[in-house]
Structure 1
Amino acid sequence: MGQWGVWVIFAIIFAIAEAILPSFFFLWFAIGAGVAAITSLFISSAVLNLLIFLIISFLLWISTRKIVQNMYKGSSTIKPYQDQFVGMKAKVDKIDDEGRIIVKIKGDEWRAFPEDEENYLINVGDDVIITRKNANFVYIKKIKASENNQKKETGE
C-alpha cells in the first residue's frame, strides 16, 4: 500500500469520527485527507502531502466555522444543564387533570413539583419561585401574597 492508501485510511477514520460525533469538526480533516490522498498520487513527498492536508483542513475549518456555529445556535436561551434559573420568579401556566404543574420560565414550559407539603396548594396564575432544578423539571415554592407585595414595593 502506497502513501495514498494511508491517506485514504485517515480519510475513512475521520469520516467515521464525524458520523459518530455531533459536530462538523472531523469532516474537514476527512476532506483534507482525501485531497492529500489524491495529491499523493502525483507528489511523492510525505512532508508536502502532510502540509497539503494541514492547509486544506485548516482553511475549510476557518471558512465554515461561523456557518457551523450558527447551525448549532438554539432558539432557547436556557441551557438545560445549568441552574441559571434557580431563584427566579415564574408563573404557574397550567395544571392538568392529573395535577401536573407547568410553569413558564423565560418563555419555555417546565414541569414543576412543589418544594414541600406546604406548597401543594398551587393554582394557575400563582407566582412561584424556582428553588432547584433536577433533570427536566424544577421545584417551586409559592410566593406568599405578603412576600409578593414586599418585592413589588422594593422593586425586585
Structure 2
Amino acid sequence: MELWAIWLIIAGVLLVVEMLTLTFYLLWVAIGAVVASAVALFVSESFIWQVLAGSVVVLVLTLFTKRITRYFKTSKGFKDAVDELQGKQGIVVEPIIDGKPGIVKVGSETWSAVAEESLGKGETVEVLERGSALLKVTKWRGDV
C-alpha cells in the first residue's frame, strides 16, 4: 500500500475519534496527516519530509487556535455548556463510596463524580461544582 494512502487512513481514524471526543486536538493531528499525505503524493517520497510537514501544520494550528479559543472564552457572553451543570440533577450509575469517585449521569452524559457522603446506585444527586474531570455532587434534597 502506498504511504500517502496510509496517511489518509490515519487521518480518517483520527477524525472519527475526534468526533467522539470533541477536543479539537485530534482534528489538528488529522489535518497534519492529510498534509503529510499530500507531501507523500505530490512532493517527496521521503518519510522524514512527510512527518516534518505534518508536524509543522499541527504545531501552527495548535499555537494559533489556543489564542483564538482563549479570546472566545474571555469574551462577553461566553458560557461553557459544561459550566451549566452546576445545580442540575443526576442519577448515580456507579456508587460513590468512602470518597472514591463513582459515576453519575446528568442529562444524557456520564461523569466521574465525588461526594462527601457515600451514595448508592440509583440515588438522585445535585451537581455542586465541576472540576477539570470530576463533578462534585451531593444527595438531592429536593426543593427545600
TM-score, normalised via structure 2 length: 0.52
Q: 2:56: which partner in 1?
A: 55
- Residue type at the aligned position of 1:51: L
Q: Which runs of 4+ in 1 moved over 6 A?
A: 108-111
| Cα distance in 2, alignment partners of residues 8 and 36 from structure 1 | 9
Does the Cα contact within 8 Å between 1:4 and 1:40 map onto a contact in 2?
Answer: yes
Matched, 1:25 2:29: no
Figure out how many residues of one structure are paired with residues of the other and give that number: 94
Query: Are residues 1:68 and 2:65 paired?
Result: no
Q: C-alpha offsets along residues 78-131 of structure 1, whole Å, 9 cap, x if unaligned?
A: 9578xxxxxxxxxxxxxxxxxxxxxxxxxx8778xxxxxxxxxxxxxxxxxxxx
Q: Is the 8 A contact 1:28 1:57 kept in 2?
A: yes
Distance 1:54 1:32 in 2: 6
Letter of the aligned partner of 1:135 in structure 2?
Answer: E
Task: Indicate the residue corresponding to 1:135 in structure 2.
Answer: 126
**Mapped contact 2:39–2:49 kept (Cα < 8 A):** no
Partners of 1:17 and 1:70 in 2: CA distance: 26
Identity %: 22
Q: Deviations over 1:49-76 (max 9, x none)?
A: 1111111111111111132345567637
* Match in the other structure for 1:10: 10
Amino acid corresponding to residue 47 of structure 2 in structure 1: A
Q: 1:17 to 1:70 in 2, by over 3 A?
A: farther
Equivalent residues in 2 for 1:26-41, closer than 5 Å = 26-41=26-41
Which stretches in structure 1 are left out of the alignment for 5+ residues?
A: 82-107, 112-131, 143-156
Change (3 A) 1:71 1:14: farther
Larger Rg: 1
Asked if 2 retains the 8 angstrom alpha-carbon contact of 1:24 and 1:68, the reply is no
Q: Which amino acid aligns with 2:34?
A: G
| Residue aligned with 1:135, SS | strand
Whole-angstrom distance in 2 between the partners of 1:80 and 1:50: 41
Report the RMSD for the aligned CA atoms in angstroms: 3.5
Unmatched 5+ residue regions in structure 2? 90-115, 118-124, 128-137
Q: For 1:64, give the aligned amino acid.
A: T
Q: Is the 8 A contact 2:88 2:126 kept in 1?
A: no
